Amino acid sequence: MATKPAELTPGTSRSVVLVENLTRTQIVMYAGASGDFTPLHTDEPFARHAGYPSVFAHGMLTMAMTGTALTDWFGVENLKEFGARFLNQVWPGDTLTATLEVTSVEPSATSDGQIVELKITTTNQDDIAVLSATARVVSTS
Amino acid sequence: MKPRSFPVERGHILTFARAIGDHNPLFTDAETAKQAGFDDVLAPPTFVQGAAHFDDAYPGRPKPGEPWMGSGREASGSPPNADAGTELHAEQYFEYHRPLHAGETLTVESRPGRSWEKQSARAGTLSFSETIHDYLDDSGQPVITVREVGVRTERPVEQ
């Protein structure tokens, strides 16, 4: 559920651990739920054959987990835009942390809330960025 | 992605929420969602990816009677080509026109966007192409607009 701070200003930020020691099973759960069974994500012999050390997570799984940090903060019903670039692959065993930072807060033209823009970086345990994202939400606090 | 139509179902949302490790009861418990003023459980922000299940031609799923690229007796169902590049997902953008909830049936209209190339030290020439998907409700109003950017690498990405 959404937990909103009393006041948001540019620079307000939070960091959230999204997953610790990502398992192959979770990657396969995501394949099942999303319908994307691409064997680079689900089939270790195939991934090795294709030149990769193991299967790796769908970029959309990383984006979805990053989205949880966003909707836990602002509420899913308040999300207006969410975009991401996939920078590096995410591997079984990775621990991911999302850092969300408010970049602007403007009064909304159409409601009594505020339009909040954020930049988000998701990094792995080696502090390598795996995903960069932006989001736009309405905050009614 | 071009499903005939995309029924947004509670069970599918539950499965998706579990897969992404999200325990928000708005996604999994209809009573919580109704008490919060919604018709049914809400869909997580990236849930419409699951529309792939309703696309008969979706290439990322094995189909009975058709060859599959994944392993069986051999490591790959595709002819060996170790130098081949990889089709990867580069960018993804969602625009939300309103919350999406279980019980709705969406239709999808897809169109190609831009395409461009870039050089990369780790994977050779990168060919990017964009596709835009409009997810519409039963009155034809947009619920979510998706822009996805795919990239084909010249060779596997160096680690």
Per-residue pLDDT of chain B (159 residues; tens, 9 = 90+): 666 799 999 999 999 999 999 999 999 999 999 999 999 999 999 999 999 999 999 999 999 999 999 999 999 887 655 556 777 889 999 999 999 999 999 999 999 999 999 998 888 999 999 999 999 999 999 999 999 999 998 887 777
Q: What is the DSSP letter of B43?
A: P
Q: Alpha-carbon distance B53 to B57, whole Å? A: 10
Contact A85 B25 (CB under 8 A): no
Which residue among A32, A85, A89 sits closest to B90, beta carbon to beta carbon?
A: A85
In chain A, the residue whose alpha carbon lies closest to the alpha carbon of B96 is: A80
Instruction: Give the pLDDT score at B114.
Output: 94
Q: Which two tokens stand for residue A64?
A: 């979805």
The average confidence (pLDDT) of chain B is 92
Which CATH number fits the domain B6-153, given the four candidates 3.20.20.370, 3.10.129.10, 3.40.50.300, 3.40.50.10480?
Answer: 3.10.129.10
Contact flag B45-A82 (C-beta cutoff 8 Å) = yes
Chain A residues within an 8 Å CB radius of B133? none
Share of chain B above pLDDT 90, in %: 80
The ipTM assigned to this model is: 0.94
Regarding beta strands A13-19 and A79-86, do their DSSP bridges make them parallel or antiparallel, or are they unpaired?
unpaired
Does the beta-carbon distance from A37 to B76 stay under 8 Å?
no
Domain ranges of chain A: 13-22+58-139
**Alpha-helical segments (H) within B45-112:** none
pLDDT digits (tens, 9 = 90+) for A84-106: 999 999 999 999 999 999 999 99
Spans of all domains in chain B: 6-153
Q: What is the pLDDT of residues A3-42, one digit of tens each?
A: 555 589 999 999 999 999 999 999 999 999 999 999 999 9
d(CA B87, CA B127): 9
The CATH architecture annotation of domain A13-22+58-139 reads Roll (3.10)
